[in-house]
């Protein structure tokens, strides 16, 4: 699981989607643990990696805080609600849901359209802010409840629905994703649903993987990392599918 967190940080640093590796690995590695504890431990590791990435972006790219703040506020509300809901989720249902998300987002990664080449906002004023709020709330609920692919969903929504360029969308995505991680971690941590020892070790591994991933990406390029990512996602999907079939038997 620590190795999976390292790989997740490595992948996140380049192409995003590390949660597609980390959460299924926790499901596989902790077969008898309740869903809320798996989710809380995942959030601890994810928050560490996302926090580091956010600081990196803030040092290099200016942020339009008038847009960022309503997005973050609604993302916090949504994630808090999602984290409350996940505590009611039975393990037998959670694994198939993660499997479906794994397949959907993995497939999208293969066929990702090249949007966001230009920064041309489609809306302004109140209409723009309302759309940001809805995006933050809806994806926030998803992240608090489940999580894998959250960063990808934020980027897709900001680019496709609002016209952001990839760079500007990535900055807002990191801020919103850090917010959803911290909100869910707060709820689950206060409820006693975080394995702090394991989560701390995974957080350190996630940070290390992210640091090395950024350096390796420069050396080998995105194509190499995407191949590794898709192979790992495919193997995890097969394992979760096998586990789901075993439950049905």
What does the block give as tokens for 148?
């894998």
Cα distance between residue 17 and residue 148, in whole Å: 7
Query: CA-CA distance, 92 to 244, in Å (whole number)?
Result: 8
Q: What is the pLDDT of residue 146?
A: 84
Backbone angles phi and psi of 202, in degrees to 5: -70, -35
Half-sphere exposure of 190 (CA within 13 A, CB side): 8
How far apart are the C-alpha atoms of 130 and 136, rounded to whole Å?
A: 10
**DSSP annotation of 120:** -
Q: Nearest to residue 238, comparing CAs of 24, 15, 6, 19? A: 24
Q: What is the pLDDT at residue 171?
A: 82
CA 14, CA 203: separation in Å to the nearest integer?
A: 18
User: Residue by residue, what is the 3-state secondary structure of 61-110?
Assistant: CCCCHHHHHHHHHHHHHHHHHHHHHHCCCCHHHHHHHHHHHHHHHHHHHH
Rounded to whole angstroms, the Cα distance separating 150 from 141 reads 10
Instruction: List the chain residues with pLDDT less than 70.
Output: 13-17, 106, 108-124, 166, 214, 217-218, 220-226, 228-229, 232-233, 243, 246-249
Residue 169 CB contacts under 8 Å (≥ 6 apart), including other chains: 116, 154, 155, 158, 159
User: Phi and psi (nearest 5°) for 192?
Assistant: 80, 25
Tens of pLDDT along 141-195? 999 998 877 877 887 788 778 888 767 777 888 899 999 999 999 999 999 999 9
CA separation for the pair 83, 85 (Å, rounded):
5
Structure tokens at 152: 């990808």
Alpha carbon distance, N-terminus to C-terminus of the chain? 27
- CA Rg value for the chain: 17
């Amino acid at each position: 699981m620590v190795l999976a967190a390292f790989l997740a940080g490595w992948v996140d640093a380049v192409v995003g989607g590390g949660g597609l590796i980390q959460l299924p690995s926790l499901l596989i590695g902790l077969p008898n643990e309740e869903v809320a504890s798996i989710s809380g431990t995942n959030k601890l590791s994810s928050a560490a990696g996302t926090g580091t990435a956010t600081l990196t972006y803030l040092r290099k790219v200016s942020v339009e805080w008038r847009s960022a703040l309503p997005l973050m506020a609604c993302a916090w509300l949504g994630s808090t609600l999602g984290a409350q809901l996940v505590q009611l989720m039975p393990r037998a249902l959670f694994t198939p849901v993660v499997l479906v998300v794994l397949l959907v987002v993995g497939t999208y990664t293969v066929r990702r359209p090249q949007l966001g080449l230009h920064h041309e906002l489609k809306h302004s004023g109140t209409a723009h802010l309302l759309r940001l709020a809805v995006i933050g709330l809806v994806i926030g609920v998803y992240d608090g409840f489940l999580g894998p692919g959250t960063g990808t969903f934020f980027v897709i929504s900001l680019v496709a629905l609002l016209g952001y360029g990839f760079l500007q969308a990535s900055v807002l995505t990191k801020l919103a994703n850090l917010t959803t991680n911290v909100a869910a971690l707060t709820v689950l941590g206060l409820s006693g649903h975080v394995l702090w020892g394991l989560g701390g070790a995974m957080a350190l591994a996630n940070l290390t993987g992210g640091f090395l991933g950024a350096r390796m990406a420069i050396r080998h390029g995105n194509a190499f990392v995407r191949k590794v990512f898709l192979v790992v996602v495919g193997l995890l999907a097969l394992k979760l599918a096998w586990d789901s079939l075993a439950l049905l038997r």
